[in-house]
Amino acid sequence: MIEITVPEVGESVSSGILALWLKKDGEYVQEGDELFELETDKATMAVPSQHAGVLHIQAEEGQEVDVGAVVAQIDTQASASDSAAAEQAQGDSNAPSSSGSGASPAPALDDLSPAVRKLVAEHRLDPGAIPASGPGGRLLKEDVLSYLDSAGAPASSGSQPGAGAAGRGPQAEPAGSSGARGTAGSGAAAGQAPGSASAAPAARGQAGNAGAWESPWNQTSAQEADRQERRVPMTTIRKRIAQRLVESKQSAAHLTTFNEVDMSAVMEIRSRYKADFEKRYGVRLGFMSFFIKAAVSALQAFPGVNAFIDGEDIIYHDYADIGVAMSTERGLITPVLRSCETLSFAQIEAQILDYGQKAQAKRLLPDDLLGGTFTVSNGGVFGSMLSTPIPNPPQTAVLGMHTIQERPVVRDGQIVARPMMYLALTYDHRMIDGKEAISFLMHLKQQLEDPSRMILGL
């Protein structure tokens, strides 16, 4: 047996959440197959198998696991046929007996994983009412989420409060809610005493037959029955994002300055050389490399923007480690390009592409996200026209890029259309003054409107 342990994923990470098993207990896995997803406060990554054999799971989904902890074993002596035979035997043992009722006993809360137990408790669900797809009939987290998505509230399917199914799934409407409101309103409309509860339904029908108007606020409609809510726990990375953003807003004096840049020159260079660039370097020439190079030049000209406040000291950096914000299905992440002052356009584009592919495959390491002296965020890829980004502490500033739009501008006394982009620089006013921030943004604008300056190092 080979033990599967939680790998080391960075100096600052000592534990994580086993978010999802990608293979089933007793399944035959090949070397390189992804076994489980490990979620830390910095990233979510898929952990591959280093061996081939039959997997024996020892840790539950949703469980917090320390680095080095054993979460499974792999029987390298077993074959794929052994796994198939075991699965068949497991299926036979789970089949209902002919003398029984055919119903599986509801799992006890103690038998559920922490993540499943939390979901069941929060939604007041009956575990026995949820179809289980895990090994041996085990209830998995995704089973509960699927049930919440598809089942709906009992009231929407005709269940009544007090009926046997009312205790399952999202709870039936309590007494005194919309049903009680409708009873009181219709009783009054029909001339019944408010206290005559038993006569209220008949009175409502009589009022309707007589053509009397009834306020829509007193009616329980199908639309109201379809208004469902569900509660799901925040992921570890979402908790971390929330914590960092609140920390940033509470610990710094944020101010944002704006400008706009004519992207004509950059777009002309891309159009003219993008085919040759991709042919030679194997990566596409994007806008981000121009902005990174321009930011490096501006950071060197205004070192305060590249510095941190640490207590009563200021830490200046002679290098530019620039974070590039990326959106993933689990939230915003910001991998860091190290020593950007030494990188070429091709190296910047290649590293951004590599980070993007790793992020989608959940293979980014926490060390890829550590540090950074400045950040660039491109909301323009989603169509954002203008925004005020939030700096990533302890960084002093963040640059926001936005969508490129043809707008009328005046050139040589003539109104012409130009591809324009708004730029936003949010900065910590404790560290730098308005003049320095505005000058930084003007320097960036000049570099982008005349790219030959950054190519020549001017």
Positions marked catalytic? 429, 433
- Triad 142, 146, 147: Cα angle to 5°: 115
How crowded is residue 211: how many other Cβ atoms within 10 Å of its Cβ?
6
Pairing of strands 322-324, 374-378: parallel
Which single residue is written with the structure tokens 């974070």?
A: 323
Report which residue type is found at 166. A
Strand order in the sheet with 2-5: 2-5, 70-75, 53-57, 28-29
Residue 228, helix vs strand vs coil: coil
Q: Report whether 203 contacts 190 (CB < 8 A).
A: yes
Residue 160, helix vs strand vs coil: coil
- By CB neighbour count within 10 A (0-12 exposed, 13-18 middle, 19+ buried), where does 118 fall? middle
Which single residue is written with the structure tokens 């959940």?
A: 362
> In this structure, what DSSP letter does residue 11 have?
T
> In this structure, what DSSP letter does residue 283 have?
S
Peptide linkage before 394 cis (omega within 30 of 0): yes
